[in-house]
Chains A and B, each alone.
Chain A
Amino acid sequence: MGFWPFSRKPSKDVAKQRLQVILKYDRAGLPPNSVEALKNAILNALKDFPFVDVSGVKINFPQNEREEKIELEIPVKADK
């Protein structure tokens, strides 16, 4: 039972999500929002390729490892 009925997700999940992003930036010494900017630039470039499902492009931070790495997930449209 939470203080906020029904709606809110546990604050610890928010903390975990935020920390995973913060630590990626900290470890790699990246300036704030630089990954967001990278993602936007990639999205722009991907618009020229019709087989790419742009709405499904994801940037992932692999967890559970201290390696400095960003993963890019580019889904391909199945019906092409």
Chain B
Amino acid sequence: MKQFSKILKFELTNYLKNKTFMGVTIFLVVVLAAIMFFPRLSSVFKSEDTAVENTSEDLPVMLVYSDTKEIAEAVSEAFSEAFPDYSVQASDDNLEEVKNKISAGDAECAFVLDGLSSYTYYVNNLSMYDTNTAVASEVLQSIYRMSAMVNGGLSADDASDILTAQIESNTVNLGKDQMQNFFYTYIMIFALYMVILLYGQMVATNVATEKSSRAMEVLITSAKPVNMMFGKVIASCLAGLIQLVAVFGSALLFYQINKSYWGENMIVDSIFNIPVDLFVYMLIFFVLGFFIYAFLYGAVGSTASKLEDINTSVMPITMLFIVGFFVVIFSMTSGSIDNTIIKVCSYIPFTSPMAMFTRIAMSTVAWYEIAISIAILIASVVGVGVISAKIYRVGVLLYGTPPKLSAIIKAVRRK
């Protein structure tokens, strides 16, 4: 135990003294600070801008043209309300002049009406996000309906009441709000993905470096392989958590400072108001998921004699993880979160950290299902840990080409 804590301390300080580790952490904190302060900064700029700009002259011009002048005027009045970003003007010119004005840049767009139920939209460059026609159609539709109802004998007030009637609706959610939980599930899955791939690689490299520098010759005769393996993996897990706490903690801090500027942003709000129980599950699955993969990476690192070999050796583990990742991401976005694949995945130890957490966050899962999943995961972590320590003990003394999987299994069994 004493030896284990020495190894843990040594490995952890290695991470914390590592320039890349610190650099990446600081970089992420700075990026998050920039994002979190963005609304405050932009509101400063905006308030300066609006003082200068608030005259209608600077707004782009929208022309409304019709053969019937009354229609043109009535419609342009309605459009002025519907398009607050435009200066809507009824045009007296003929069609050719309207087109010329648009080409020359004097006006941005024009609606040429053939009565109330048909129009042509002229625009110089049609933007991908141009929704003017949709808005215009809606406005024209209600004008048309209004006039039809008035013509049919209703008073203008009644007609407007009918047209603006609102349906009141309430939603009572008895389970989970998938929309709200979507974001932190997404963030957790992504954080797990990033951290496991990054730190898994680091554990593998760490072991392979010790092996290739032959420091292993002394280490293996000084410390128990189980202590070495668990020390390394737990140290990397702590380093990962420290990094995550630094990054998300600073994000939370910056958010609190700028809370008023973010206003009622639902996404940001839901991220920072994660329920406590979900946060605890997140932590449990994160740590266990991290362990099970870090052990595998460590074991694989011990079988590589050169650092160059690592990338090919860790490939199967990375693939296994990525498959699990995509199963979860597809299920999340498909809308049917409780499909069979994800249910199965939520019990398989290599995918359950992501799959079970997603199910807990986005649907309703019975407590015993969670308990079974966590129990399987914990047992697997211990099992994988012990097996990796055995592989490690055999692997670190093998030099030359990386051994085949079958050879490793044989060697471990013999012990």
Chains A and B bind each other: no
